[in-house]
Structures are given as C-alpha cells and as structure tokens.
Amino acid sequence: MTNNNPIGLFDSGVGGTSIWREIHDLLPNEDTIYLADSKNAPYGQKSKEEIVELSIKNTDYLLNQNAKIIVVACNTATTNAIKELRAKYDVPFIGIEPAIKPAALNSEKHVIGILATKGTLNSDLFHQTVEKYQDTKIIEQIGLGLVTLIENGEINSPEMNRLLHAYLEPMIEANIDYLVLGCSHYPYLIPQIKKILPNHIKIIDSGEAVARQTKKLLAESVGLSNNTKKGKTLFYTNANPKVLNDILNNKYEVKSKDF
C-alpha cells in the first residue's frame, strides 16, 4: 500500500521539531507539514478545554493540507486531548507521552526524575501511566518557564541555566539514575542538562519511539510514500519565524501563517 500524502505534525511551538527530526531521519522520503502554534505557547499552563480546542484547530488545518496521519508532537496536547481527537476524526493519530516505561524498567536505583509541563503532570493519562510502576519512585518537576525561554530564542541564557539548576539539583539529591524529558521542547536543552547532571544519570525522551511507531502505522494501515527522492517539508508558524528558523539552522523555509 502506498500513500504519498504528507505526514502532519503539530506542537505548541518549535519543540516538536525534535520529533520531526526523528521522523524525517527514519522516513526521509515522506513529505511532512509541521505547525508551530507558538502564538499559543506554552500549552502546559492552559486548561484541558483550551488544549483540546487548540488541538482541534491544528488538526483541522493539517487535514485541509491532506495530511494522511497526524503526529501530536506535544506531550501536553497528547496527554490532554488525544482521546478527544481520536473520537472526532477518522485519521490515525500518533501521540507523544513521557518515556516513563523504559526509564522505570531500566532504573537500577528505582528512582527516576521527570521534567515536564504542568499540563502533562496533572493529566489523567500521566497518572494512569505512573500507577503502573509502583516500585519506582518518580520525582516530578514542572519545568515552569522553560518553554517560554525556548520560544523566545533564549536557550543558552543565564535564566535558563538558573532554572535548570533549580529543577535538576533536587533530583540529583534524590539519587535518580534516569531523567525523563516530558516535553518535546526539552531535547534542545540536553547540552545544558548534561553539564548539570552527573555522568551516570541517563537522559531519555520519546522522539525515537514516536518515529518507529509512525513508520509502523504507515506500513500497516495508512501507506508509505513511494517517493524515491527526499521528501518535501513545509514549516508554518503563527509567531516570529526567526526562532523556528534558528532551531532548524536556517536549512528550511519557514512560512508565517495565522492559523
């Protein structure tokens, strides 16, 4: 089965490009459309109703561009809205959830940390996941302010460094051996995080697993592209395109669009 329609992705901003990169690396011949809803970032501080409404808006836009599958490249949107999205639309959805399972199963100390948004940590889906790992102590930390700094192009700012120290040092003291990044923006902070964490603490995110699941679903039920050339990518943002351009190293065209 072949299907040359694009893969659609959306996030509350530029962070989901970390998911897009993994999908693009694994499926380089697929066309992709990426929506950065930076005007409404961060989703993590919004109500469930607002997150569902924004997720529907983004999905409608991608479906109007003939997306064959929707990747919700946002932990907060997945944990708060994917159930509603799947009920409303016939198109398949791929969600992104914090990688609690591999961290809990591989932790030797049975103590792991998770850095995520308030919206993710407060969601029913997150609590259902945590309940499965009663023998693991999970240190939860809301990454308040991190997404805003990333969206403002201040990844390497003194304020970012201050916040990361404040959020990570209690986890180090709690003796974690895995840190789960529970927001698709956070992989862009890995260089700074590695400077703070001891070498034995492993950092884990969901990007690679999401890419594998996307490929599996396309192969089994939606259809892979039979393109022999590198796929085309469209990037749309409803805020200042400079931040998205910078994250992408100015290698792709970014279009401003009010969606």
The residue annotated as part of the active site, out of 54, 74, 116, 125, is 74
Clarify whether 134 is annotated catalytic: no
The residue annotated as part of the active site, out of 27, 54, 168, 183, is 183
53: Cβ contacts below 8 Å, ≥ 6 apart: none
Q: Whole-angstrom Cα distance, residue 131 to residue 112?
A: 14
The reply to whether omega before 92 is within 30° of 0 (cis) is no
Q: Whole-angstrom Cα distance, residue 211 to residue 241?
A: 25
Q: Whole-angstrom Cα distance, residue 13 to residue 5?
A: 23
64: Cβ contacts below 8 Å, ≥ 6 apart: none
CA dist 27 → 83, 98, 226 (Å): 26, 22, 11
DSSP character string of 143-210: -TTHHHHHHTT-TTSHHHHHHHHHHHHHHHHTT-SEEEEESTTGGGGHHHHHHHS-TTSEEE-SHHHH
Closest-CA residue to 14 (of 259, 257, 247)? 247
Clarify whether 86 is annotated catalytic: no
Provide the residue type at 256 as one letter. S
Query: Which residues are part of the catalytic machinery?
Result: 74, 183
